[in-house]
Chains A and B, each alone.
Chain A
Amino acid sequence: MKILIVDNDINTVEVLQASLLSKVNYEINVAYSGEEALEMMKKNGHYELLILDIMMPKINGLDVCELMMKDEKLKNIPVLLVSALPIASTSFQESLEKFKELKLVKDVLEKPFEIDNLVNKVKAIVGK
């Protein structure tokens, strides 16, 4: 089980990684920008889950999704979006809907999160 965590905030990457590892035993890679994440996904082969922050400088989370959709190799990697914005806010709702429909984005996790909530969502997506 190979998972990639992407967030520009080092602490957040850290807490996501630690939270997951406190509960499950996955292979976890991390990236600190959209560009880096895309590069890693292309280079390192198949990931079973991408935990992706939305608000990032330059290429944000939704841009990453957009680019993944255009790539035959990447468009089937499930994404768990992580956002400080509440899901109900209007800002990203429409774009989010689009990716949800295309079955790229499987779920959204609101920051701050409870460990159990994170783990449950991840398990639900990877099916274990």
Chain B
Amino acid sequence: MKISKNKKKKTKQFSEENFGRKTKEKVFGELEGKLESIFENNNDAIIFLDKFVKILDINKKTTEIFGVSEKELVGKHFTKTGLFTIKELPTLIRNFANALTGKKTYFNISLKNKNGQQIALECSASLIKIGGSIRMMVIARDVTKRKEMEEAILESEGRLKGILESSPDAITTTDLVGKITDCNQAALDLHGFSRKEEIIGKSAFHLIAPGDHQKATENMKKTLKQGYVKNAEYTLKTKDGHQFPGELSASVIKGHDGKPVAFMAITKDITERKQAEEELKSSEEKLKILFEYAPDAYYLNDLKGNLIDGNKAAEEITGYRREELIGKSFLKLKLLSPDQIPRAAILLAKNALGKSTDSAEFTLNRKDGSQVIVEIRTFPVKIKGKIHVLGIAHDITERKQAEAALREEKNKLEQYFNIIGAIIIFFNRDGKIILINKKGCEILGYELKKILKKNWFTDFVSEEDKIKTRAFVKKLIEDKSNQVQYFENHILTKNGKKIFVNWSNIVVEDELGKTSIVLGTGVDITELMESRIAINDFNKINKLKDDFLNIATHELKTPLTSIIGFSEIMKEQKLFRNPEQKNYTNIIHEESSRLAGIVKRILMITRFESGREIIKFEPINLSNFISSFLIKLNIIANKEKSKVIANIEKENIIIKSDEEKISEVIYNFIDNALKYGLDEQVIVVSVTKPNKKWVRIAVKNQGKGIPPEKLDQLFDKFSQLEPSLTRSQEGTGLGLYICKIIIDSLGGKIGVESEPNKGSTFYFTLPIENVATQKRDLDFKAV
């Protein structure tokens, strides 16, 4: 400052000297041009005034600024120029007066120029000596534009401030260490403060959740380095500690010198956006899951048939893993047989034209060589501007198989319809024949075409059955019963033969569900009817046979009763005149008894064979039964000096059977044992239980045994070991046969085990739970 003052003094002195010592011409000669040029071309208005403030000289700029000509100003007192109004004059007078005292004076003034423009001037006024005269030099700088700019800046600053204040985003300014210097209302709202004073001066870290402080520090460094940080996500904090997701963009505010002086941060609450993002993410996941686990195969391919993606079902259907599918074309994978490729190409061509395709059936070759039948629909989809194809393949193998099975069933049914040995006919209530099967045609003797032109009632039903048939059909249709109704009538065939038909009828609705039609299945029972009659006759004959049997029995037995009875009485009473008489009486008694035995057996066999023998199933305790039976058996055995003993494996075996019949069998076994066994032998009756379901009763004798080749015939009718003419043993050969039919009728099995010279074991088995019981009862009822 001092230096510049000195310089100014020197300049002054220099100019005074020049004006003082040298001649006017000479001085002007050197300087005039230069000064004149400076004066005239100066960017400021320069006005010289005398000490009475009359304008002496002005430069060109002055005329420009004030919008007047030189003439209008030069020589005039400044107050008379008309440039200044009462508003500006006091300022001018005051400052000029000050300048005239010798003080350099600075002032600003604003006024309207001759052109009506408002101008702002920054002025300096000072005294100078020119050629011994004191002059006042006023230099006025037009600062209108600068003022305007300053005002504009102020205005825009204010506007900016307004914007900041009213911004919906929170704006905070901090110093370089993060201390909050200012913030807007949105920032207060965001963090739950009510007044700026609550946060100004505090660290901005107060607004960020502790977990993100480290991140904030790093981002501050980054901001300093690159000038900004955009959209950094933070967990922010409110006054009361509530945390929420936020997004922060920060920039550096630089000072005049271009160095950072502060940070400005714009913060946003992104809770909603985050939620939306989460939702989007989850819905994306949902879509992904839907795609992945869809029951149908979903796949994407390009228009050349190269696979881009596929879901799980696609893997399952093709048998390839996704990695094996992606990037390969269906041609390369040989998914389709060559004959299907043209069809697939058509689908792709449609897709290329932006068209989706309807279900098309393809047979795919799976990786393992097996095949699946699929129904494929395709949809062109745009992904990143490129057309791809979304294919959906539905596995219809099972459906196809079911369809095939159904077809087969239908064929079978049709076959059945035609080959079944019965008439199957559909006709309506008027007797119009709608359909009839092949067998029906055969039975009736006409071709199908001809039958379809005929009427069921008038053309086929025999005269005597017409009324009842019509009545039956009328009732059947009116009842609409869904139960099968049976009916029998006579039908006339083409060759005039009358057949008797048994019908199973049901009412069905026609395809439209409007009319009821009769479905009848008819079996020709003409022959059956004939045999019914025959059976009736047979029953009559049987009855006669029965009667005969009864009479024969009576007629045979009655005389035998007398013969046996009287011969026995004679024996008992010893009414003999001589030994021959006694002998003959004995023979009469024995032979008549034998005859009675034979008659009894033959009659029994006849009854069994005709199913007229009654079997009573009653509980039998086997051990009790055998024990008491043993006494009777020993009476017989003792006569032959033999003995019967019992060997009962288990006590209290209870079976349901016929005690009398079992006795008969055992008696026969014992009788045989005595006849064919050794003298004075021991016969063993054993009862065993080989398993839960059966008991086995066996009679073992001691004797010569039975040759193996004879074993098979033993239980045949009239079978005896020795040829009849040479027989040494008495007997009818009916005993074992009776045993067999008895055991058969009791549901058991009869048999013999024998080795020559080791004796024989005759045995039979019986069911413990007599399953045959009910069946047999039924059989008897049927008879």
Q: Which residues of A contact B (CB under 8 A)?
A: 9, 11-12, 14-16, 18-19, 22, 55, 84-86, 88-91, 93, 111-115
Q: Of residues B556, B561, B573, which shows the largest number of chain A Cβ atoms within 10 Å of its Cβ?
A: B561
Are the C-beta atoms of A84 and B614 separated by less than 8 Å?
no
7 pairs from A and B in contact (CB 8 Å cutoff):
A11-B558, A12-B558, A84-B556, A85-B550, A86-B607, A88-B660, A112-B557
Lowest 10 CB-CB distances: which A-B pairs, in order?
A15-B565, A84-B557, A11-B562, A112-B561, A84-B554, A111-B561, A112-B564, A111-B557, A112-B560, A112-B596
Kindly report which residue of chain A lies nearest to residue B604, judged by CB atoms: A86
Query: Known interface pairs A93-B614, A113-B565. Does A86 touch B600 (Cβ–Cβ under 8 Å)?
Result: yes
Residue from the list B568, B600, B612 in contact with A19, Cβ < 8 A: B568
| Structural contact, A9 and B565, CB atoms closer than 8 A | no
Residue of A nearest to B562 (CB): A11
Write out, one digit per residue, whether chain B residues 591-613 have a CB within 8 A of any chain A CB (1) or not (0): 01100100010011001000011
Chain B interface residue count, CB cutoff 8 Å, equals 30
Point out the residues of chain A lying under 8 angstroms from B548, CB to CB: none
Write out the residue numbers on chain B whose beta carbons fall within 8 Å of the beta carbon of A14: 562, 566
Interface of A is mostly: loop
B240: which A residues are within 8 A, CB to CB?
none
- B569 adjacent to A19 (CB under 8 Å): yes
> A16, B565: Cβ atoms under 8 Å?
yes
- Tell me if B562 and A89 are in contact (CB < 8 A): no
A115 to B567, CA, bound (A): 11
Q: Once bound together, how far apart are the Cα atoms of A122 and B569, in whole Å?
A: 17
In the assembled complex, how far is the CB of residue B542 from the closest CB belonging to chain A, in whole angstroms?
Answer: 12
Residues of B within 8 A of A (CB): 546, 550, 553-554, 556-566, 568-569, 572-573, 592-593, 596, 600, 603-604, 607, 612-614, 660
Q: Are A15 and B553 touching (Cβ within 8 A)?
A: no
CA distance A2 to B553 in the complex (A): 30
Residue from the set A88, A91, A112 with the largest chain B CB neighbour count within 10 Å: A112
Could you tell me the distance in whole angstroms from the C-beta of A113 to the nearest C-beta in chain B?
7
Which partner residue on chain A sits nearest B780 by CB separation?
A90
> 20 additional contacts, CB 8 Å, given A11-B561, A112-B557?
A15-B569, A22-B569, A84-B554, A84-B557, A84-B558, A85-B553, A86-B603, A86-B604, A86-B607, A90-B614, A93-B614, A111-B560, A111-B561, A112-B563, A112-B564, A112-B592, A113-B564, A113-B565, A115-B565, A115-B569
Give every chain A residue within 8 A of B660 (Cβ-Cβ).
88
In the complex formed, the residue of A with least CB distance to B552 is A84
Cβ of A76 to closest chain B Cβ, rounded Å: 28
Given A18-B569, A19-B569, do A91 and B550 touch, yes or no (CB 8 Å)?
yes
> How far, in angstroms, from A57 to B755 measured CA to CA in the complex?
55
Q: Say yes or no: A115 contacts B607, CB within 8 Å.
A: no
Chain B residues closer than 8 Å to A114, beta-carbon distance: 564, 568
Q: Are B572 and A55 in contact (CB-based, < 8 A)?
A: no
Residues of B within 8 A of A111 (CB): 557-558, 560-561
Whether A89 pairs with B613 at a CB distance below 8 angstroms is yes
Tell me, in angstroms, the Cα distance from A16 to B565 when the chains sit together.
8
A88 in complex: contacting residue of B554, B568, B613, CB < 8 Å: B613
Chain A residues contacting B546 (CB-CB under 8 Å) are: 91
Cβ of A89 and Cβ of B614 under 8 Å apart? yes
Distance of A115 from chain B, by nearest CB (Å): 5
A61 and B377 CA atoms in complex are apart in Å by 95
Residue of B nearest to A91 (CB): B550
- Measured CA separation A22–B557 after assembly (Å): 22
User: B611 to chain A: closest CB distance in Å?
Assistant: 9
Question: Which of A15, A22, A88, A93 neighbours the largest number of chain B CB atoms within 10 Å of its CB?
Answer: A88
Complex CA–CA separation, A25 to B660 (angstroms): 33
* Cβ-defined contact, A112 with B565, below 8 A: yes
A42 to B592, CA, bound (A): 38
B562 cross-chain contacts in A, Cβ below 8 A = 9, 11-12, 14-15
Give Cα distance in the complex from A19 to B572, angstroms: 10
B592 CB to nearest A CB, Å:
8
What is the distance, in angstroms, from B420's C-beta to the closest C-beta of chain A?
Answer: 42
Q: Which residues of A contact B560 (CB under 8 A)?
A: 111-112
What residues of chain A lie closer than 8 Å to B558, measured between beta carbons? 9, 11-12, 84, 111
A15 & B614 in contact (Cβ 8 Å cutoff): no
CA of A114 to CA of B558 in the docked complex: distance in angstroms?
Answer: 14
* Most chain A beta-carbon neighbours within 10 Å: one of B557, B560, B604: B557
A11's nearest neighbour on chain B, judged by CB, is B562
Question: Chain B contacts of A90 at CB under 8 A?
Answer: 612-614
Give CA–CA (A53, B57) in the complex, Å. Answer: 190
Nearest A residue (CB) for B612: A90
Task: Give the residues in chain B near A9, CB-CB below 8 Å.
Answer: 558, 562
* Minimum CB–CB distance for B9 against chain A, Å: 173
For B557, give the chain A residue with the smallest CB separation.
A84
Asked whether A15 lies within 8 Å of B566 as measured between CB atoms, the reply is yes
Distance between Cα atoms of A18 and B600 in the complex (Å):
24
The interface residues of chain B lying within 8 Å CB-to-CB of A22 are 569, 572-573
Q: How many whole Å from B406's CB to the nearest CB in chain A? A: 55
Chain B residue at smallest Cβ distance from A109: B561
Alpha-carbon separation in the docked complex, A115 to B562 (Å): 11
Cβ-closest chain B residue relative to A7 = B558
Question: Closest chain B residue to A94 by CB distance?
Answer: B614
Q: For the complex, what is the distance from the CA of A107 to the CA of B560, rounded to whole Å?
A: 21
- Nearest CB of chain A from residue B608's CB, rounded to whole Å: 10
* In the complex, residue of chain B having the shortest beta-carbon distance to the beta carbon of A13: B562
Residue from B561, B563, B573, B614 in contact with A113 in the complex, judged by beta carbons closer than 8 Å: B561
Judging by beta carbons under 8 Å apart, are A89 and B569 in contact? no
**Pair B566/A84 contact, Cβ less than 8 Å:** no
Q: Which residues of B contact A112 (CB under 8 A)?
A: 557, 560-561, 563-565, 592-593, 596
Complex contacts, B596 vs chain A, CB 8 Å: 112
B568 and A55 within 8 A (CB): no
Contact between A115 and B614 (Cβ–Cβ < 8 Å)?
A: no
* CB-based contact B572/A115 at 8 Å: yes
Q: Within the complex, what minimum Cβ distance (angstroms) separates A87 from chain B?
A: 8
Once the chains are docked, how many angstroms separate the CA of A85 from the CA of B604? 10
Most chain A beta-carbon neighbours within 10 Å: one of B558, B559, B604: B558
Partner of A15, one of B550, B561, B613: B561
Task: Chain B residues near A19: list those with CB within 8 A.
Answer: 565, 568-569
Question: Which B residues touch A86, using CB under 8 A?
Answer: 600, 603-604, 607
Q: Are B613 and A55 in contact (CB under 8 A)?
A: no
Please give, as numbers and ranges, the residues of chain A lying within 8 Å of B572 by CB-CB distance: 22, 115
Complex alpha-carbon distance, A112 and B568, angstroms: 11
Contacts of B593 in A (CB 8 A): 112
Q: Which residues of A contact B553 (CB under 8 A)?
A: 84-85
B564 and A88 form a contact (CB under 8 A): no
* A115 & B550 in contact (Cβ 8 Å cutoff): no
Q: Are B566 and A18 in contact (CB under 8 A)?
A: yes
| Complex Cα–Cα for A115 and B573 (A) | 12
Closest to A15 in B: B565
State in angstroms the CA–CA spacing of A111 and B564 once bound together: 10
Shortest Cβ gap from B775 to chain A (Å): 18
User: Are B565 and A18 interface neighbours, CB within 8 A?
Assistant: yes
Q: Which of A11, A18, A89 contacts B559 (CB 8 A)?
A: A11
CB contacts (< 8 Å) of B600 on chain A: these are 86
Looking at B569, B596, B604, the one whose CB has the most chain A CB atoms below 10 A away is: B569
Closest A residue by C-beta to B616: A88
